[in-house]
Amino acid sequence: MPQFDPYWFASQLVWLGIIFVFLYLVMSRLVLPRIGEVLEERSERIADDLEKAEALKKDAEKVIAAYEAALQEARGEASAVLARAGQEVAELAARRQAEFARGLAEKTAAAEQRITKAKDDAKAQIRDISVAAAGDIVERLTGVSADESAIAGSVDSALEETR
């Protein structure tokens, strides 16, 4: 192998130096500046993206805070609406109950009046029937017709005693 022959070492070292200088110049003048520019652009883009992300995060936090405030306000309004609705339902129930009680009291009073009238009518009919029956009984037993006013007085006193 000729590269390991010491005779060729000097020329190989010269060519190594020339190629090293050439590659160093090419790398330092052309490639490394472009790589530096790309890295700088990427660094700037990353910094811009981080700034945008931070701004978006702040905006999102503001939106979330506004949403939570709106949600809290809506809950408060819903509570107020429910309280008003409950109060209205309670008032409506109280009004209906009062109307029902008033109607029931009116119907009860009317029924009591009808019952009292029916009692009075029944008592009057019982008295009339008792007077007529007593008159018929006295007439059948004695054969003489009795005084109707005396029979009516006796029936009235007997009815007074049963009360």
User: Could you read off the pLDDT of 13-51 as tens digits, one per residue?
Assistant: 899 999 999 999 999 999 999 999 999 999 999 999 999
Q: How confident is the model at residue 1 (pLDDT cuts 50, 70, 90)?
A: low
CA distances in angstroms from 16 to 9, 55, 79, listed in the order given? 10, 54, 87
Question: Is the CB of residue 152 less than 8 Å from the CB of residue 130?
Answer: no
Rounded percentage of the chain residues whose pLDDT exceeds 70: 98
For residue 163, what pLDDT is reported? Answer: 63
Summarize pLDDT for 44-87 with one digit per residue, the tens.
Answer: 999 999 999 999 999 999 999 999 999 999 999 999 999 999 99
CA distances in angstroms from 35 to 28, 71, 122, 147, listed in the order given? 10, 52, 124, 148
**What is the Cα–Cα distance from 140 to 144, expressed in whole angstroms?**
8
- List the beta strands (DSSP E) in the chain: none
pTM of the prediction?
A: 0.43
